[in-house]
Amino acid sequence: MRAWRGTRTRAFPGEHEAIVDQATWDRVQERLQANGRKHQRGRRPQNPAYLRGLIFHENGAAMTPHHTGKKHKEYCYYVSTDYLKVRHTEPSAAPQRLAAGMVEGAVVRELRRVLRSPEIAAHTAAQLGNHTDTTEVAAALQDFDSLWAQLFHNERARIVQLLVQRVTVTGKGLAIDLRADGLKGLATELMTPQEASI
């Protein structure tokens, strides 16, 4: 039987008998669908890309996370969309592809350095207002390292998205722009007493 789809489905006699019986056909279809779901689950990255939507090449092109696998190990890169589209762009000293771990590590190290700065603590305390004590803010921001060590990957990605406005890849390195309101938000979170779990 051959099916024709129009405004309604009608069956027409086929030209020959089925090669495979219906029960075998159904089992194969179920297995193919199950294998497709397993393959999709297997290709999903284990950890979120912290800089998704935040990292750009110096020519303005976004850099998007790309994952590859080799021998059951996953590798993640940030790749310029220009490079992916094989556009012929002007030669640049800035790389078109960077290992995600390297870039994310550099951004987190810079966040740690900035959060230890007395100037940042004073600026954040001023933004919080209400005569917030600068030493209290500084102590809270210093606690970033211990907080980071306790967070799962999704929470780490949320913190990076909260603090970082833009990362630009240049021939000389990374230019990292921070969100002033993000520092205020982080300080508020760190200074708020956590409820004890029962």
Among 49, 79, 47, smallest CA distance to 169 is for 79
Residue listed under structure tokens 């230019």: 175
Per-residue pLDDT of the chain (198 residues; tens, 9 = 90+): 444 444 455 555 656 677 777 888 788 777 777 765 554 444 444 567 899 999 999 989 999 998 887 777 788 899 988 877 776 556 666 788 899 999 999 999 999 998 888 888 888 888 888 777 888 888 888 888 888 888 888 899 999 999 999 999 998 989 999 987 888 888 888 887 654 444
Assign residue 97 a region: left if phi > 0, alpha if psi is -120 to 50, beta otherwise?
Answer: beta
pTM score: 0.68
For residue 67, the model assigns a pLDDT of 83
Phi, psi of 112 (to 5 degrees): -60, -45
State the sign of the Cα–Cα–Cα–Cα dihedral 67, 114, 112, 148: negative
For residue 4, the model assigns a pLDDT of 44
> Per residue in 114-128, is it b (16+ CB within 10 Å) or e — as a string?
bbeeeebbebbbebb
Of the chain, the end-to-end C-alpha distance in Å amounts to 64
For residue 195, the model assigns a pLDDT of 47
| CB burial of residue 55 (10 Å; 0-12, 13-18, 19+) | buried
